[in-house]
């Protein structure tokens, strides 16, 4: 869900007819920062809990967040849809620049 939310801020178009292999079209520095946040966030949750409490507590915390995400799925999809509709004209303008 985090990646979908962050994707609503990307206004760069991508030409889908080009090869997907090593195609970095539409990606910029902020896209790499988004990816870094998504990869590092679980470590920032797990490592302190595993170090100071127990590794099991860290795993339970990550699993608990996943369970909360599943339980709130309908709410989150509705919220993401509203966010997308707020930015849809900016996103469309980015795709017209191709």
Residue-wise pLDDT tens digits, 7-63: 777 766 666 666 666 566 666 677 778 888 888 989 999 999 999 999 999 999 999
Distance (Å, rounded) from C-alpha 29 to C-alpha 2? 17
**Structure-block tokens of residue 63:** 């699993």
**What is the model's pTM?**
0.64
Beta-strand (E) ranges in 23-83? none
């Amino acid at each position: 869900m985090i990646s979908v939310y962050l994707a609503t801020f990307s206004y760069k178009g991508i030409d889908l007819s080009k090869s997907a292999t090593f195609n970095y079209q539409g990606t910029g520095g902020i896209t790499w920062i988004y990816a870094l946040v998504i990869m590092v966030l679980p470590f920032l949750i797990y490592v302190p809990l595993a170090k100071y409490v127990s590794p099991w507590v860290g795993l339970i915390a990550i699993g608990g967040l996943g369970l909360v995400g599943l339980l709130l799925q309908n709410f989150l999809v509705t919220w993401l849809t509203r966010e997308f509709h707020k930015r849809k004209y900016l996103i469309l303008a980015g795709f017209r620049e191709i």
